[in-house]
Each structure stands twice: as C-alpha cells, then as structure tokens.
C-alpha cells in the first residue's frame, strides 16, 4: 500500500514508533500506520508501570529518600512489596532532587520540524527532568533488560533528545539524557548522553531523513531476522516473519463455546 495513503501530512514520531521503524519497517507499518493489536504475547510491563507511577507520586508529595513516607505511599496504593521497594531505593541513591533548582515528572514535550521537508512532529513523555548545576538532567526509568552500554545508541533516545534539546537551549542549559535502570541486579546504567548543539542538529537531520524514507517506502517489508522477529508482537501474522507461530488474538467467550461444540 502506498505510504501516501497511510502517512499523515505531518508524520508523528514517538520514541517507541521510531524505535520500531529503525528495527523493522513492517513493525512500524503494523503498529503505527495500521494500528493493529498485538497478535503475540510480549513481556508484561505491569510492574514497570507501577514503579513509574509510584516514583511520580512519591516525588509529587515528598522525598524518595524518606523511607517512612515512601512506605506510606506504596502501602496506600497496595504495592508495598520488596521488588518495588528495592527499585525505589535504587533510584533514591541516584536522585538529584536534593540539589535541584526545578523538577518535573511525567513531562510531555513536543517539537515540530518544518524545513527542510518532510515535516514531522516529535512527541515524547519524559519520566523526570531536573535542573541543577547548569544542566537539564532528563531521566528515563527502565525496569527491563539492559541492551546497550550507551544511551546514544538507542533509537528511542534520539526522539527524546530532539524534543529536549530545544527546551535546554531556550533555558541556556546543557542537556544530559540518562536511562536509569531500577533493578538491583543491574550494576551500571548505560553511559549518559550529553547532547550539544552540533549533536542536536545531527539528530534533527537523522529524524528528517527517516521520515523521508517513510514517504518513499512502498513495500514495508520485514527484516526477516530471527533475533528481531522472536521478540516481535506481530511475529505470527507478519508475511516476512523469521519466527512464525500461531496468533493469540483475544476471543469472545461465545466464540470459545462455538469451537467446543
């Protein structure tokens, strides 16, 4: 299907859909353009979402270093468990809130690129942003596996850096983007990314060029790479899948009853 029948006039880029596009064009096509529900199970993000939400609530009303206060917040939401406690404690050891001028949590940013064509709008929600020591210190909390040693090598981080760069520049601040892994078993975070003006300009051109490739795309072929396909949420319905399987679509109870007759 021609891209012009699917792409909006102003393409929307998010960290997740840009990561999809860099990973596999078909993945982007199925998710961002067709909006298909996942056909295959993927790792649950429930615990990660809980921890993100609790960190937001903890910082909104007090200090993550206050064990009694943290316990009250977690107990009040029915999630005062050892795994959650351990993740909050790991964050508290690296939290700069005691020396910050300003802070924001669950901070949503958008930035529009107009020229040169094609146009696109980048949107990203940042888990936490602190201003201290002349720096815009942006954090993305992670509760999954560690895949890379540098934030600069993560495609999703490029969209985040793009939307953050203008905010940092307007305030005369240096920009640092950090992926903060919360599991106690992960020893070190990936190397933070210090984004200067030259790097920010290169990121903008990278994203513009990616959107141009989207407009030129006609086939939307998958990469057919077993390592990529095994973790794909559409692996059993993708025509190019290198990890075929049976889809696990949700079914209505009446459909189950019919199949059992």
pLDDT by residue, tens only, the chain of 261 residues: 555 578 999 999 999 999 999 999 999 999 999 999 999 887 767 788 899 999 999 999 999 999 999 999 999 999 999 999 999 999 999 898 776 778 889 999 999 999 999 999 999 999 999 999 999 999 999 988 888 999 999 999 999 999 999 999 999 999 999 999 999 888 899 999 999 999 999 999 999 999 999 999 989 999 999 999 999 999 999 999 999 888 887 666 665 555 555
- Give the separation between CA 165 and CA 228, rounded to whole angstroms: 30
| Cβ-based neighbours of 229, under 8 Å, separated by 6 or more | 222, 223, 235, 238, 241, 242, 243
CA distances from 34 to 6, 15, 18, 38, 197 (A): 8, 18, 15, 11, 35
pLDDT at residue number 96: 87
Please list, residue by residue across 223-236, b when 16 or more beta carbons sit within 10 angstroms of its beta carbon and e when fewer do.
beeeebbeebbbbb
pLDDT at residue number 92: 93
Count CB-CB contacts under 10 A for residue 91. 22
- Give the separation between CA 65 and CA 75, rounded to whole angstroms: 16
- Give the separation between CA 14 and CA 184, rounded to whole angstroms: 29
- Check if the beta carbon of residue 175 is closer than 8 Å to that of residue 165: yes
Task: Give this prediction's pTM.
Answer: 0.90
Strand partners, 59: none
């Amino acid at each position: 299907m021609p891209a012009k029948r699917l792409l909006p006039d102003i393409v929307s880029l998010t960290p997740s859909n840009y990561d999809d596009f860099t990973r596999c064009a078909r993945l982007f096509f199925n998710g961002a353009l067709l909006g298909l529900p996942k056909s295959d199970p993927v790792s649950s993000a429930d615990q990660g979402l809980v921890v993100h939400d609790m960190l937001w609530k903890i910082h909104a009303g007090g200090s993550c270093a206050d064990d009694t206060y943290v316990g009250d917040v977690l107990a009040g939401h029915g999630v005062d468990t050892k795994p959650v406690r351990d993740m909050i404690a790991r964050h508290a050891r690296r939290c700069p809130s005691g020396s910050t001028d300003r802070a924001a949590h669950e901070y949503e940013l958008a930035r529009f690129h107009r020229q040169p064509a094609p146009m696109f709008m980048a949107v990203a929600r940042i888990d936490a942003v602190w201003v201290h020591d002349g720096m815009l210190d942006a954090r993305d909390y992670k509760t999954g596996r560690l895949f890379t040693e540098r934030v600069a090598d993560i495609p999703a981080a490029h969209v985040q850096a793009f939307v953050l760069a203008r905010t940092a520049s307007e305030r005369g601040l240096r920009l640092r983007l950090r992926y903060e892994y919360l599991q106690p078993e992960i020893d070190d975070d990936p190397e933070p990314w210090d984004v200067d003006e030259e790097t920010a300009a290169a990121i903008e051109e990278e994203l513009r060029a990616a959107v141009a490739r989207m407009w030129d795309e006609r086939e939307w072929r998958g990469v057919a790479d077993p390592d990529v396909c095994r973790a794909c949420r559409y692996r059993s319905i993708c025509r190019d899948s290198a990890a075929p399987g049976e889809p696990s679509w949700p079914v209505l109870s009446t459909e189950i009853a019919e199949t059992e007759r």
